[in-house]
Structure 1
Amino acid sequence: MKLFKKIAIISVTIIVLSLLGGYLYFQKKFTPPENYLNVSGTAENIPTRWISTNENSHAALLLPIKLNGIDKTFYMQLDSGSPITVFYKNSLESISEKFPNRIKIDNEKNKISTGFKIGNLNVISSDFEVLNYGSKIDFDNANAENIIGTIGTDLLEKRITVLDFKHNKCSFIEKIQENNFIDFEFKKRKILIPAKVDNENLKLLYDSGTSGYELITTKEAWEKYKSKTSAIKTEKGNSWGNTLAVFSASANKKIQFGNASLPLSEVTYIEGTSKLQNFLMKQSGMQGMIGNKLFLNHTLILDCKNEKFKLE
């Protein structure tokens, strides 16, 4: 009996250590690095630009920026699903060819030391990450969508963000009167907003990288929310080069954020996400993701530092 008892104790110990080790691994792997942005100034009423596709007129939200030392407007995607601001290597190399010695990528560490401006907002870092991604810059086309990187929630953590979707403008400011603001969670620089559908409390990740979708949820919830007679729209999505199958259907619901009630006219679910992504979604407690499309006629104000938001 003593032998069996020892074996049982050892087995339990191994399981506990394995679970703890797994927890610590995921905590380390998915905890963003320290916010390395040095931010000064503010940006007010910056005009935004939408990327359109055949299936989606609001596929991504772009902000005009200028790299330090280069008098040329480029664009970066505002992605509230990314905890860090990153640049695209292929795009930077293209800029470097035209402006020698202005950009120096540390290819060994995949880092770059540089800065950029959004209006009068200055963003500087010696540790911007560089992803093997992006396209060559079209310098001859004044209307080209020359996207050179992604702006993440590390910038949103440094400033109060005002997204005026009705007038296609964006501001990054330091102070605002926070009357009738609502609490939200800002965990690991992820924006988790409380909402209600059919009087059910939900925790939804605001991911502007899924810009053109109102609500992305599980297949089970999708079946529950969608109109029974709705046609199903199928399209291919892209997540950092990975192809996903995206299914959308019309809905006739209301989604509530505090006292603000918005029409929910479409719901979506995605196939092709990894088991790890699905596991992390469940662990976070969130029931879905919301993109920019839901807020097109409204203004969304996010104070990530103090975990407060308002929808107008």
Structure 2
Amino acid sequence: MKLLKRILLSFLLLLVVISAGGYVYFKNKFEVGPSQLRLVSQPLTVPFLWKSNGAEPHAFQLIPVTLHGCPKTFYLQFDTGSPYTIFYQAKLETIEKKYGPATVPQVANGQVLQNFSFQVGSLPLTASALPVKAIGDGAIDWADTTSIEVIGTLGTDFIQDKVLVLDYKKSLFSVYDQFPPNLARGIQLLDFQFNSRRILLPGQINGKETALMFDSGSSAYELLTDKSTWLEMQSPHSPVDTAYVNSWGKTITAFTTTTTAEARFGQVRLPLRKATYLEGMSLVNQLLTAFSGLGGMTGNKLFLGHTLVLDTRHQKFAVLP
């Protein structure tokens, strides 16, 4: 009996250590530095474009951007899963070769873009330092003025202390300094979390309270969740689609099924037509998900036909039916 008590006590202590270590690791891994973007205080409304990944027509949400001294309109993918705005190294090198350092200043150590000015739609902004990543190639079709050239990612640093309005029905992307009075009337504002510039929306999935990370860069899937929730949501006799996804050099298997479940945010109910769970994630990622209390991840697809409003300064949101 004493030996059993010692084993149980040792196991309990191990769980405490793992829990504390997991919390610290999670906090450090997802902590972000201050935003380097400086935006002019003026409202912005600009149409966004959808780009397909071949299977999903709403996979990527593209926002128009222009650079100083360059007449061509480029695009940034709006990705709420990224706390930083980043630019793609090869594209910048191609632009710099054509228009010079006045348009694209030198990239320090090949990793940081310093003192950079550009416009998102008609909104001017500057950045003291932005990360540059070796993503994609440098090909740009200069002859075709209508070609869609994606040169980077627009992260949640762009919407920090702002009110974001995503009108999916009209394909409009709007940013305000204050909550628009015309939207404030007659809507239910709910609390959400914007810790480390990541968006966690509290809601219900099939009546169960949970928190969903809103990641507009993962819109190929309507809902990413754990296997047990996925099994509960699966419609009887519905087929399962299997896909293999490359994630940072590691192959992950995605299982997607049809469901009649729904997500609920306040009084607004949204049907969930598809649900997906992943196999092949590392133990660390599984632990991080467990420690975060995250119930799943969703992207643009869930809100198509609706309007999503996010006030990141006051951490209030609404889904307009």
Q: TM-score, normalised by structure 2?
A: 0.86
| 1:133 equivalenced with 2:141 (yes/no) | no
Comparing 290-299 with 136-145, greater Cα deviation is found at 136-145
Please give the per-residue CA displacement for 1:222-253, whole angstroms capped at 9, x wherever unaligned: 11112122122223445466553322111111
Aligned 1:36-51 pairs, distance under 5 A: 36-51=36-51
Comparing 119-128 with 238-247, greater Cα deviation is found at 238-247
| Helix, strand or coil at the partner of 2:309 | strand
Look up the equivalent residue of 2:153 and give its one-letter code: T
Aligned 1:25-104 pairs, distance under 5 A: 25-101=25-101, 102-104=103-105
Distance 1:188 1:115, change over 3 A: same
Stretches of 4+ aligned residues off by more than 3 angstroms:
12-26, 41-45, 236-244
Indicate if the aligned counterparts of 1:39 and 1:158 stay in contact, CA closer than 8 A. no
Distance 1:15 1:199, change over 3 A: closer
Please give the per-residue CA displacement for 1:136-155, whole angstroms capped at 9, x wherever unaligned: 22223334321111111111
Count of matched residue positions in the alignment of Structure 1 and Structure 2: 301
Look up the equivalent residue of 1:161 and give its one-letter code: L
| 1:245 equivalenced with 2:248 (yes/no) | no
| Helix, strand or coil at the partner of 1:217 | coil
| Backbone CA RMSD of aligned residues | 2.4
Look up the equivalent residue of 2:68 and give its one-letter code: N
| 1:212 equivalenced with 2:213 (yes/no) | no
Identity %: 36
Distance 1:241 1:71, change over 3 A: farther
Q: Which 5+ residue runs of structure 2 have no aligned equivalent?
A: 1-11
| 1:186 equivalenced with 2:194 (yes/no) | yes
Q: How far, CA to CA, are the matches of 1:242 and 1:139 in structure 2?
A: 35
Indicate if the aligned counterparts of 1:260 and 1:311 stay in contact, CA closer than 8 A. yes
Q: How far, CA to CA, are the matches of 1:269 and 1:14 in structure 2?
A: 29
- Which residue pairs with 1:294 in the alignment? 302
Q: How far, CA to CA, are the matches of 2:49 and 2:90 in structure 1?
A: 22
Please give the per-residue CA displacement for 1:151-174, whole angstroms capped at 9, x wherever unaligned: 111111132111000111110111
| 1:156 equivalenced with 2:164 (yes/no) | no
| 1:146 equivalenced with 2:154 (yes/no) | no
| Helix, strand or coil at the partner of 2:161 | coil
Q: Which protein is richer in strand relative to its size?
A: 1
Distance 1:15 1:194, change over 3 A: closer
Pick from 246, 255, 258 the counterpart of residue 263 of structure 2.
255
Look up the equivalent residue of 1:32 and give its one-letter code: V
Q: How far, CA to CA, are the matches of 1:311 and 1:282 in structure 2?
A: 27
| 1:277 equivalenced with 2:313 (yes/no) | no
Indicate if the aligned counterparts of 1:161 and 1:172 stay in contact, CA closer than 8 A. yes
Distance 1:159 1:200, change over 3 A: same
Please give the per-residue CA displacement for 1:153-204, whole angstroms capped at 9, x wherever unaligned: 1111132111000111110111223452110111111100011122110111
| 1:123 equivalenced with 2:125 (yes/no) | yes
| 1:305 equivalenced with 2:306 (yes/no) | no
Distance 1:118 1:238, change over 3 A: farther
Q: How far, CA to CA, are the matches of 1:85 and 1:194 in structure 2?
A: 25
Indicate if the aligned counterparts of 1:41 and 1:120 stay in contact, CA closer than 8 A. no
Q: TM-score, normalised by structure 1?
A: 0.88
Q: How far, CA to CA, are the matches of 1:66 and 1:238 in structure 2?
A: 31
| 1:105 equivalenced with 2:113 (yes/no) | no
Distance 1:274 1:87, change over 3 A: farther
Indicate if the aligned counterparts of 1:43 and 1:118 stay in contact, CA closer than 8 A. no
The Cα shift of 1:13 comes to 11
